[in-house]
Amino acid sequence: MVFIYNKNQLRNHPTEKENGMKCLDFLDDAAALEDALAESYGLLAGLTADPGVSEKLNRLRREEENHARIIRTGKNYVRRAPDLFGEAIISGAELQAGLASCREVTADIRSARLPFREGLVRLAGLEDQFEKIHLDSALEVKDENLGRLFRRMARDDREHRVVLEEILQRPV
């Protein structure tokens, strides 16, 4: 899951420092969302008896954990150069709602209130919900290396939906 920033969207942030602080909070929530997705994938991987499905879900878990690390790396850039990112196009409330939904799915899987297949469906829905919110589609990043990392995350996220759909096609 990745989130859109657009340098041209700066409006209500008179200083780079204020923009950087808001961006840091936003990136904290984005990293927490990635962590929650990773935990959900890991929990589902432990629920299936199919080793192939388990491996695919564990791969998604590892990728989401890596995404959280990349986002935290982005925070270091914001601290050093607050003007590197602009204002978030999606609201903090929208991100918080996505994070709450993801944490709810994780809690439901952990407590066994959510069967394996329904967990897959809900995670696929979350991936779909945030598919439009990719850094590669509307982010100005002045550092090419960081931009490459974010574009890779966006590709991974698109692939996650495909993997989940493939798993859902199997008789589980």
* φ and ψ of 55, to 5 deg: -65, -40
Residue whose tokens read 């989401």: 64
Domain hosting residue 137, numbered range: 5-169
Residue range 41-64, pLDDT digits in tens: 999 999 999 999 999 999 999 999
Question: Three-state secondary structure along 114-149?
Answer: CCHHHHHHHHHHHHHHCCCCCCCCCCCCCCHHHHHH
Amino acid in position 38: A
Residue range 71-102, pLDDT digits in tens: 888 888 778 877 666 666 666 777 788 889 99
Mean pLDDT over each residue of the chain, to the nearest integer = 79
Please report the pLDDT score of residue 133 as a whole number.
Answer: 55
Query: 6 forms bridges with which residues in the sheet?
Result: 87
Handedness of CA 9, 96, 135, 70 (dihedral sign): positive
Contacts of 28 (CB under 8 A, 6+ apart): 75
Q: How far is residue 36 from each of residues 17, 65, 139, 141, 150, measured CA to CA in Å? A: 29, 9, 24, 26, 19
Contacts of 76 (CB under 8 A, 6+ apart): none
Residue 15: which CATH number?
1.20.1260
Determine contact, residues 136/60, Cβ cutoff 8 Å. Answer: no
Q: Higher model confidence: residue 69 or residue 79?
A: 69
Residue range 107-157, pLDDT digits in tens: 999 999 999 999 999 999 988 877 655 544 434 556 677 777 777 887 888
Tell me the two tokens of residue 79. 């601290």
Domain count, the chain: 1
